[in-house]
Amino acid sequence: MPRSAAGTLVFLAAATLSVVPAVHSLTDYANDFLSPTDILNNNYNNTHLAQQTILQWASDSAAGAPWTVTKKPFPPPSGDDHDYMSFAPYRWPDCSNVQNTTALTAEQIWEQCNYTTIDGKLNADNRIVDNIGDFESLTDAVLYNSLAWHLSGDDTYSTRVTQWIQAWFLSNDTAMNPNLNYAQMSGGPSGQVGTHTGILDLKGMAKIVSGVLLLRQENASTWTSDVDAGLTAWAGEYIQWLTTADIALQEKAATNNHGSFYYTQLASVQILLGDTAGAQSTIEEYFGGIYLGQIAANGDQPLETARTRPYHYRAYNLAAMITNAKIGEYVGVYAWNKTTNEGATIKTALDYAMTVAPGSSETAYAAELYPNIAAVAAKYGDPDGKYAAFLANAEGKAYVEDANFYWNQPFSDSGFDVAGATASSSGTATSSAASGKSTVGTNQENFALSIGFVPWRAWGMLYGGCAVVMVTSFAEFL
Ligand SMILES: *[C@@H]1O[C@H](CO)[C@@H](O)[C@H](O)[C@H]1NC(C)=O
Ligand SMILES: *[C@@H]1O[C@H](CO)[C@@H](O)[C@H](O)[C@H]1NC(C)=O
Ligand SMILES: *[C@@H]1O[C@H](CO)[C@@H](O)[C@H](O)[C@H]1NC(C)=O
Ligand SMILES: *[C@@H]1O[C@H](CO)[C@@H](O)[C@H](O)[C@H]1NC(C)=O
Ligand SMILES: *[C@@H]1O[C@H](CO)[C@@H](O)[C@H](O)[C@H]1NC(C)=O
Ligand SMILES: *[C@@H]1O[C@H](CO)[C@@H](O)[C@H](O)[C@H]1NC(C)=O
């Protein structure tokens, strides 16, 4: 496989493997919620390329399956592998009183050394136990495979979703206990217990619920009543924990992105349970509560700007606010126009964030804002073309190939989906009137045309055809 900078050569090599090369690396969006009704009614004709990406990411995201919470190199303090376990990302060990640190196992370091926080500096060793990453992989895989089933009608995708949900939440051998008692532990002798920031680890429930709602609404035969009932029962127990445990209530009280995502998560599982009234009151509590203090008159988000990586955190909390507004709209609480104490809306926050370029230490995060731009454009409109122009300028055609362009509609494709429109009329993307599902073909020419030169996506393009999946992650747990 040539690792040439010339995209076309790489593409041709990939095409010979009869694998549709990833135009983009699989992107782990910070969060999102998709109304199944909107997806069912989605007949926008400028999203062919985004649909192809969704099919590709559905396959890519299946690579590590199945994921289970019981897969750990050492157990949590409870001794029960069914308990979810994760380490706070910015904690670093100080083993200065140990003569020979190489003699310590990862577990001994974790339990015996003294830990301190260095804000913004990620410790890779804190992923040795990777329930956190495995759960995030599950959330993307469920979302993209549910969408791929909707688009293609191919039960392979929905069968996987059912199996993965069963493995993570339900199977006797591997099921997760419905609590986060050991999430984001801080490490060392006094840090063997979960902290409130760890509640954030399960914010991706919004993606899982989005996928499940789609399978439910379209009566997927592979989504079995057993699994549906099991997941619903799990949600009921988890809500009990989420609304009573001390650390969960501390997270709810957080005024920044942590609090925002707490409401996302609670409302999502309430919807899963069928508790629409509960989800309504959760979203109302967010928009009538901490949201009011999150956006200044000029659109800045002072609580996020104060952090070590302000560009990332502004985009991150925007994703939370947008997801909460989408959930609200689904349950009948319209919050897109809700103004903060200083008179700002989600749109004001997005408009401000777009004016601030990432600092030199944050250039890798530039694209994190893009899905938020598409979401705001779709909801508030883009009458002067400002949002489409920003994305077209930032990443060219790549913005209409991004999976989220499929569900953040209506939104202009700036004329970039011409290849997709051609494919549609030539039959490679067809719509089946009988099933009501559109089937997207794999037109290699489209991919040749659509290879962009966006550095942050280069790895996914280079390796997409070599079955090595690189993931662009916006969903760090911080
Ligand atoms: C897409 O839809 C728009 C609005 O309905 C229509 O004007 C346009 O002709 C359609 N384009 C294609 C390629 O079908
Ligand atoms: C941790 O700190 C305590 C108290 O300062 C000290 O007695 C102990 O030796 C330290 N442990 C390690 C592994 O450095
Ligand atoms: C330190 O521990 C490692 C692993 O047990 C061992 O191989 C090594 O010989 C030890 N070094 C010293 C200086 O004791
Ligand atoms: C799982 O455990 C429950 C309760 O112990 C038991 O009733 C059920 O038969 C088990 N299911 C399987 C598939 O082993
Ligand atoms: C799913 O089943 C329900 C109940 O039978 C029915 O009302 C609905 O139209 C079905 N939805 C689809 C998309 O087939
Ligand atoms: C939201 O605000 C816009 C602009 O003021 C207005 O056009 C729209 O009707 C409002 N929507 C709702 C549901 O209040």
Quote the pLDDT of residue 5.
32
Q: Where are the alpha helices (DSSP H) in 118-195?
A: 131-152, 155-165
Q: Which of 202, 269, 280 is nearest to 234 (CA)?
A: 269
Q: Does 315 fall in a domain?
A: yes
Q: Does 14 fall in a domain?
A: no
Q: Which ligand does the CA of 112 lie closest to?
A: 2
Token look-up 């996928």 returns 211
pLDDT in tens, 278-333: 999 999 999 999 999 999 999 999 999 998 889 999 999 999 999 999 999 999 99
pLDDT in tens, 7-40: 222 232 333 333 333 457 899 999 999 999 999 9
Quote the pLDDT of residue 476.
59
Q: Which ligand does the CA of 423 lie closest to?
A: 1
Q: Does 450 fall in a domain?
A: yes
Res 116 pLDDT > 50: yes
Q: Does 9 fall in a domain?
A: no
Q: Which ligand does the CA of 98 lie closest to?
A: 2
pLDDT, greater one: 24 or 363: 363
**Structural domain containing residue 339:** 22-477
How much distance in Å is there from the Cα of 432 to the middle of ligand 5? 17
Q: Does 5 fall in a domain?
A: no
How much distance in Å is there from the Cα of 57 to the middle of ligand 1? 26
Cα separation values, 449 from 15, 54, 149, 164, Å: 13, 18, 26, 35
Q: Is the minimum distance from the CB of 453 to ligand 6 under 6 angstroms?
A: no
Q: What is the domain count for the chain?
A: 1
Q: Does 15 fall in a domain?
A: no
pLDDT in tens, 196-247: 999 999 999 999 999 999 999 999 999 999 999 999 999 999 999 999 999 9
This prediction's pTM: 0.85
Evaluate the omega torsion of the peptide bond into residue 66 and state whether it is cis, within 30 degrees of 0. Answer: yes
How much distance in Å is there from the Cα of 36 to the middle of ligand 5? 13
CATH number at residue 469: 1.50.10.100
Residue nearest to atom 14 of ligand 6 (CA): 337
Residue nearest to atom 12 of ligand 6 (CA): 337
pLDDT in tens, 49-106: 999 999 999 999 999 999 999 999 999 999 999 999 999 999 999 999 888 878 899 9
Alpha-carbon distance 269 to 179, whole Å?
Answer: 13
Which of 94-103, 123-132, 163-172, 193-202 shows the lowest per-residue confidence on average (mean pLDDT)?
A: 94-103
DSSP at 99? S
Q: Which of 114, 82, 117, 85 is nearest to 97 (CA)?
A: 114
Q: Are 231 and 170 in contact (CB under 8 A)?
A: yes
